[in-house]
């Protein structure tokens, strides 16, 4: 997945990459033994784009992984891939709100 992001990941990253939101956003970042879709290290924010079918089958594993990330001090924002596809501005708004929540 590192070199071949999903369509939704690629679209979202094209808008939030680098410092376009005022913070450095990294794609496919390693945290412990996990690779997360996006990471804003300065805010300890993990952003995961969840595809409908794939993640529906992995709810238990995703929940366990999220608990580990939270215990490690990260906030996890899950964005449905369908939202990225239908309302990119809404998805970016969720990221902006999460950044604001993590900053203060």
Q: What is the pTM of this model?
A: 0.89
Domain of 43, CATH number, reads: 3.40.960.10
- Which helix (H) or strand (E) segment holds residue 46: the answer is strand 45-50
Q: Is residue 63 assigned to a domain?
A: yes
Residue 93 has which token pair?
């708004």
Q: Return per-residue pLDDT of the chain as tens, 104 residues.
A: 456 788 999 999 999 998 999 999 999 999 998 899 999 999 999 999 988 665 556 777 888 889 999 999 999 999 999 999 999 999 999 999 999 999 86
Q: Is residue 34 assigned to a domain?
A: yes
Please tell me the number of Cα atoms within 13 Å of 28 on its side-chain side. 8
Q: Is residue 26 assigned to a domain?
A: yes
Q: Is residue 92 assigned to a domain?
A: yes
How many structural domains does the chain have? Answer: 1
Q: Is residue 1 assigned to a domain?
A: no
Q: Is 39 exposed, middle or buried (0-12, 13-18, 19+ CB in 10 A)?
A: buried
Domain that holds residue 77: 7-99
Q: Is residue 18 assigned to a domain?
A: yes
Q: Is residue 104 assigned to a domain?
A: no
């Amino acid at each position: 997945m590192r070199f071949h992001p999903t369509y939704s990941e690629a679209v979202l990253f094209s808008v939030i990459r680098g410092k376009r939101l005022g913070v450095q956003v990294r794609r496919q970042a390693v945290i412990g033994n996990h690779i997360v879709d996006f990471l804003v290290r300065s805010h300890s924010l993990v952003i995961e784009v969840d595809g409908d079918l794939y993640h529906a089958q992995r709810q238990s594993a995703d929940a366990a992984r999220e608990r580990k990330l939270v215990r490690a001090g990260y906030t996890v924002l899950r964005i449905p891939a369908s939202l990225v596809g239908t309302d990119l501005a809404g998805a970016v708004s969720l990221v902006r709100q999460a950044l604001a929540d993590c900053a203060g």
